[in-house]
Amino acid sequence: MKKEQRNGIWIGIGLVLLCHAILIIAMLEMFPIYLLIGFVQVVYVVPICLLGLKNVGIAQGALIAGGVTFLLNSVACFGMGVFS
Amino acid sequence: MTFPFYLHLGPLTIHPHLLFESLAYFIGFRVYLWTRNKERIPMQQGMWVIVGATLGAAFGSKLLAWLESPALTLAHWNDPFYLMGGKTIVGGLLGGLIGVELMKKIIGWTRSTGDDFALPLIVGMSLGRIGCFLTGLDDHTHGSPTTWITGIDFGDGVLRHPTQLYEIAFLWLLAGGLLLLRHRPLPEGARFQLFMFGYLLFRLCADFIKPTPHEYWIFNNIQLAALAGLLYYGRLISRWRRPTPAEKETVHA
């Protein structure tokens, strides 16, 4: 695997995490968006994946970050609650 | 000790499930990178397999959770908070398996990739179950009331089976068993098949001592999925000893 693609994976993960942070901070006063971020993230994960047309690692990283976010979003194995 | 056992990091109070589940994914991924057979699959294809596993696990874990009570899910089909709540490990494993197989078809990879996942999954699932245990009753992964010496009071004064801890103990016994087999000449993918068969068999049995709704005759949604997985892996394992047509020809020649 080329170094550029390996770095792309971390760039993809980083971009998704950055978008999560921006969205959560922007919506903090209006709506607890972090409870639904697993669904809402599609809006920016798909465009980030399109960057992967040039560097496939970015798409891989974005998809892995999106999948893990979706899994983590339902915090408990049943039920919700993030921070006390 | 009170449940949920919140963890304090500076000004933050973190839910134990969030912390241990995050650790499970991160450390599981690191263990995969560390222990994987570098000659089995190149890194680029390996990463696509990880993508398939992650997306399949996300979809499968959610789908099976929705099937715990189909009537309730239908009643809440337009409530995103309800739909986002809940997930199941068995659904994640079976969904991950389907995701990997689909991805392998897309990238044109025919060799088995599962053996590299057995140990990372054991490490990740054990860490995740610590979070489930520390969450207590809210997590709905505890067992039924018991008089056994292993009973734990999760805060309501009732001693219950700590099925999360049973699962961790079973996973490490399974890891020990797989370690004993490491020098045996087994077919490619056999270790992962044994891991899945063992874990699904454990869940089929353990879910009889869980107070979840058993909506499908005597089974719950997880047991039904575990049964389907057991049939699939049982069939694969039963084929190990059968000689291939080429071997048969050699014998007859």
Task: List, for residues A23-37, the tens digit of each pLDDT value.
Answer: 988 887 777 777 888
Q: What is the mean pLDDT of chain B?
A: 90
Helix B221-238 and helix B43-66, axial crossing angle in degrees, nearest 10: 140
Distance in angstroms (rounded) separating the CA atoms of residues B87 and B160: 22
- Cβ separation of B54 and A84 shorter than 8 Å? no
Task: Identify all chain B residues contacting A72, using CB atoms and an 8 Å cutoff.
Answer: 18, 21-22, 25
**Residue A62 falls inside a structural domain:** yes
Q: How close A44 comes to chain B (CA, Å)?
A: 16
pLDDT tens by residue, B79-132 = 888 888 788 899 999 999 999 999 999 999 988 888 989 999 999 999 999 999
- Which position has the token pair 């798409």? A59
Question: Any chain A CB within 8 A of the CB of B155?
Answer: no
DSSP code of residue A3: H
Identity of the residue numbered A79: G
Name the 3-class secondary structure at B124.
helix
* B12-14 vs B7-9, strand pairing mode: antiparallel
Return the structure tokens found at B133.
């245990």
ipTM: 0.86
Residue A58 counted as domain residue: yes
Nearest-neighbour CA in chain B from A74: distance (Å): 5
Asked if residue A78 belongs to a domain, the reply is no
Q: Please enumerate in sequence order all residues whose Cβ is within 8 A of that of B9, keeping only pairs 6 or more positions apart, or say none.
A: none
Residues in chain B with CB shorter than 8 Å from the CB of A78 are: 65, 68, 85-87, 138-141
According to DSSP, the residues that pair with B12 across neighbouring strands are: B9
> Could A71 and B92 be called an inter-chain contact, meaning their C-beta atoms sit closer than 8 Å?
yes
Alpha-carbon distance of B155 to B12, in angstroms, equals 23
In this prediction, residue B68 carries a pLDDT of 81
- Chain A interface mutation, best of B43, B47, B55, B221, highest count of A Cβ atoms under 10 Å: B47
Residue A82 in any domain: the answer is no
pLDDT over 50 (residue A82):
no
| Per-residue pLDDT at B166 exceeds 80 | yes
From chain B, the residues in CB contact with A49 under 8 A are none
Residue with tokens 């999360």: B164
Q: Which residues of A touch B (CB under 8 A)?
A: 1, 5-6, 9, 35-36, 38-39, 56-57, 60, 63-64, 66-68, 70-84
Sign of CA dihedral B60, B215, B235, B186: positive
Q: What is the largest CA-CA distance in chain B?
A: 75
- pLDDT tens track for B178-202: 999 888 888 988 999 999 999 999 9
Rounded Cα distance between A62 and B155, Å, is: 40
In terms of Cα–Cα distance, which of B95, B88, B90, B102 is closest to B49? Answer: B102
A4 occurs within a structural domain: no
Beta-carbon contacts below 8 Å between A and B: 111
- In terms of phi and psi (left: phi > 0; alpha: psi -120 to 50; beta: otherwise), the region of B217 is left
Q: How far apart are CA B90 and CA B175, in angstroms?
A: 18
Range of the domain at A17: 12-73
The answer to whether the CB of B188 falls within 8 A of the CB of B171 is no
N residues, chain A: 84
Q: At what angle do helices B43-66 and A56-73 cross, to 10 degrees?
A: 30
Using a CB-CB distance cutoff of 8 angstroms, which residues of chain A are in contact with residue B141? 77-78
Q: Please tell me if residue B19 touches chain A, with a CB cutoff of 8 Å.
A: no
CA–centroid distance for B163 within its chain: 14
Is there a contact between B232 and B158 (Cβ–Cβ < 8 Å)?
Answer: no
B102: nearest Cα among B65, B61, B48, B64: B48
Is residue A42 a part of any domain in this protein?
A: yes
Q: Is residue A79 very low, low, confident or very high in pLDDT (cuts 50, 70, 90)?
A: very low
Residue A12: partners with Cβ closer than 8 Å, 6 or more residues away: A48, A51, A52, A57, A58, A59, A60, A61, A62, A63, A64, A65
Number of domains in chain A: 1
A38 domain-assigned: yes
Nearest to A78 among B55, B58, B86 (CB): B86
A54 occurs within a structural domain: yes
